[in-house]
Amino acid sequence: VWGDPIGHSLSPAMHTAAYALLGWDWTYGRRRVDEASFADELASLGPEHRGLSLTMPLKHVAYAVAAQHDARATLTGAANTLVRSGSGWYAFNTDAGGIVAALAEAGVVAADRARIVGAGATASAALVALSEIGVRQVWIAARRPAAAAPLRDLGERLRLRVDAVPLDSPTHASVDVTIATLPGGVSVDESVADRLAAAGGTLLDVVYGHWPTDLSRAWDRIGAPAQGGAGMLLHQAVLQIRAFASGGVDQPLPREDEVVAVMRRALVGD
């Protein structure tokens, strides 16, 4: 897994646990790589490297370098997975699928109205995921609503209505589910968080290293369901391993239920 910073990544523990269970003689490590060094680092890889996981800030440059893209990567313009394909690379976005699976674990398999908090890189994957569970109306709550313009364009391609509203709006429309995509450590004023929670349905906060968040505390104050980003991290990694193994994300792994269980234990350090 490459990114900058990268020392905090839990991906090596999860992947290593999965490979051990499956009896695969594979290794998975981490490397600090920024945008400026990405091209040289990629060119240096030998044929023994099957693929890469990419985190920030590399998801857009990874997309750009690939000769082929899966549907989710094409929609978002971002890739968190590269797999060797002939002499080039095949790009996947497994974040969207990870969000779909994490929502299902939270009991949300279908919804009509949703909110995304934040308009950064993860918001596009969240929008794709919401379209896949049948959502037709999405509000983007952002500190700078103008930053949501690319998400409105993506919404048109997905046949979703997407509206942008200020994060500190005095009122928010009632929704079935809220996906928070703010980076870990970003603070949200308590009164703003409480307004979002009051009309927010189930919360999926993609943060996994800074828990609880200001938003999850607001959901907790009213007794509403809230889930952190560990489930998304787990399930996007399962899809990555599928891609490394078969060149696609649709073919389940051998003993996949056991793989998921051992990866979940690695994620929590058990």
Active site residues: 59
For 250, phi and psi rounded to 5 degrees?
Answer: -90, -20
d(CA 104, CA 101): 5
Tally of CA atoms within 13 A in the half-sphere of 108 that contains its CB: 29
Residue with tokens 């080039």: 88
Take residue 108 and report the two structure tokens written for it: 């949300």
Backbone conformation region of residue 95, classed left if phi is above 0, alpha if psi is from -120 to 50, else beta: alpha
Q: Are 2 and 53 in contact (CB under 8 A)?
A: yes
d(CA 158, CA 137): 11
Three-class SS of residue 153?
helix
Is the previous residue joined to 12 through a cis bond, with omega within 30 degrees of 0? no
* Sign of CA pseudo-dihedral 72, 34, 64, 120: positive
DSSP character for 251?
Answer: S
Residues 6+ apart with CB under 8 A from 180: 116, 117, 118, 203, 204, 205, 206, 207, 213, 215
